């Protein structure tokens, strides 16, 4: 059980930077889209 939790934790630590990068890029794209709509 503990090994399972450690595996999940390790996976989360590995994917966190990728997820953060994706979120930041998504926010930039959304911001650009909103700016385009505003004119």
Q: What is the pLDDT of residues 1-24, one digit of tens each?
A: 889 999 999 999 989 888 889 999
Average confidence (pLDDT) over 16-39: 88
Which two structure tokens, joined as six digits, stand for 7? Answer: 């595996």
In this prediction, residue 36 has a pLDDT band, given cuts at 50, 70 and 90, of: confident
Is pLDDT of 29 > 90? yes
Q: What are residue 18's phi and psi, to 5 degrees? A: -65, -45
pTM of the model: 0.48
Cα–Cα distance for residue pair 16/19, rounded to 1 Å: 5
Opening angle at CA 26, ends 32 and 35, nearest 5: 15
What pLDDT, on the 0 to 100 scale, is given for residue 1? Answer: 80
């Amino acid at each position: 059980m503990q090994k399972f939790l450690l595996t999940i934790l390790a996976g989360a630590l590995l994917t966190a930077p990728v997820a953060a990068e994706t979120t930041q890029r998504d926010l930039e794209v959304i911001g650009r889209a909103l700016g385009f709509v505003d004119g």
